[in-house]
């Protein structure tokens, strides 16, 4: 198949899922998709999502709240490119601007409030090629807490993340915990059908949840130290 075979609505649905998930660090609801792409009927949204699922462009788990994600390997194979926000990533020549999308807990998880604005609170400028990763898949978060201090991630630091929905054991990730409506920064370890989110500070206990209750939103690729005033 070709992406040109998709309807305009289906193209816009894919783009909205990408933008929403990157901004909120969890996927949109069917109602939010409809509101964004101009479909008032949830059944029509469901029809289009089912079609995208049949084409293997999205993955749905109907047993899980917000159980929706893009099949990025398949989309990349077909040459799909996410739309960039108007002034988002292009800085001066040879540099990228990465949006800072808020805070993430390195300690007790910070509740996620879907009603919070999604506009970046600021930007981090990186030299082109610094991370050897596509700039449009990068975002930044401010660290709150000290549970990752033994990994040299301190309270107030900024972490740069590559937006992705999977990660390997031992990688530091931003993870959203379904049901708790919390997001946290921890090392990832999978054991059977359980996910262990491991701190790098002996004062904290691991967070252990069923795998279907944890969503990976990004993998940490760099840490920027923010010096505090004396």
Contact 183, 104 (CB under 8 A): yes
Contact 126, 95 (CB under 8 A): yes
The answer to whether the beta carbons of residues 58 and 11 sit under 8 Å apart is: no
Active-site residue identified among 2, 40, 93, 147:
147
- φ, ψ (nearest 5 deg) of residue 184: -150, 160
Distance CA 145, CA 46 (A): 40
- How far CA 92 is from CA of 120, 131, 157, in Å, comes to 19, 17, 24
Residue with tokens 């069923």: 210
* Residues 99, 161 contacting (CB under 8 angstroms): no
Which residue is catalytic, options 50, 65, 186, 228?
A: 186
Residue 126 near residue 85 (C-beta atoms within 8 A)? no
Q: Distance between CA atoms of 217 and 137, rounded to whole angstroms? A: 11
C-alpha 186/C-alpha 46 separation (Å) is 34
Please say if 186 is a catalytic residue: yes
The residues carrying an active-site annotation are: 147, 186
């Amino acid at each position: 198949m070709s992406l040109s075979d998709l309807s305009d609505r289906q193209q816009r649905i894919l783009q909205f899922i990408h933008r929403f998930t990157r901004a909120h660090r969890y996927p949109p609801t069917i109602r939010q998709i409809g509101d964004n792409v101009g479909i008032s009927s949830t059944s029509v949204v469901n029809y289009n999502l089912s079609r995208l699922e049949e084409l293997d462009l999205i993955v749905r788990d109907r047993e899980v709240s917000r159980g929706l994600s893009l099949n990025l390997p398949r989309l990349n194979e077909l040459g799909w490119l996410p739309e960039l926000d108007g002034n988002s990533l292009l800085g001066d020549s040879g540099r990228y601007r990465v949006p800072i999308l808020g805070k993430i807990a390195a300690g007790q998880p910070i509740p996620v409030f879907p009603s919070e604005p999604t506009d970046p609170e600021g930007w981090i400028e990186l030299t082109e090629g610094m991370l050897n990763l596509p700039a449009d898949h990068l975002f930044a978060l401010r660290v709150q807490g000290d549970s990752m201090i033994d990994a040299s991630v301190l309270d107030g630091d900024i972490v740069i993340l590559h937006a992705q929905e999977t990660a390997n054991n031992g990688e530091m990730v931003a993870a959203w915990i379904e049901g708790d409506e919390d997001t946290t920064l921890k090392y990832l370890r999978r054991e059977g059908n359980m996910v262990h989110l491991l701190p790098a500070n002996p004062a904290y206990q691991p967070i252990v949840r069923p795998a279907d209750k944890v969503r990976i939103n990004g993998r940490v690729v760099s840490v920027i130290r923010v010096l505090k005033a004396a």
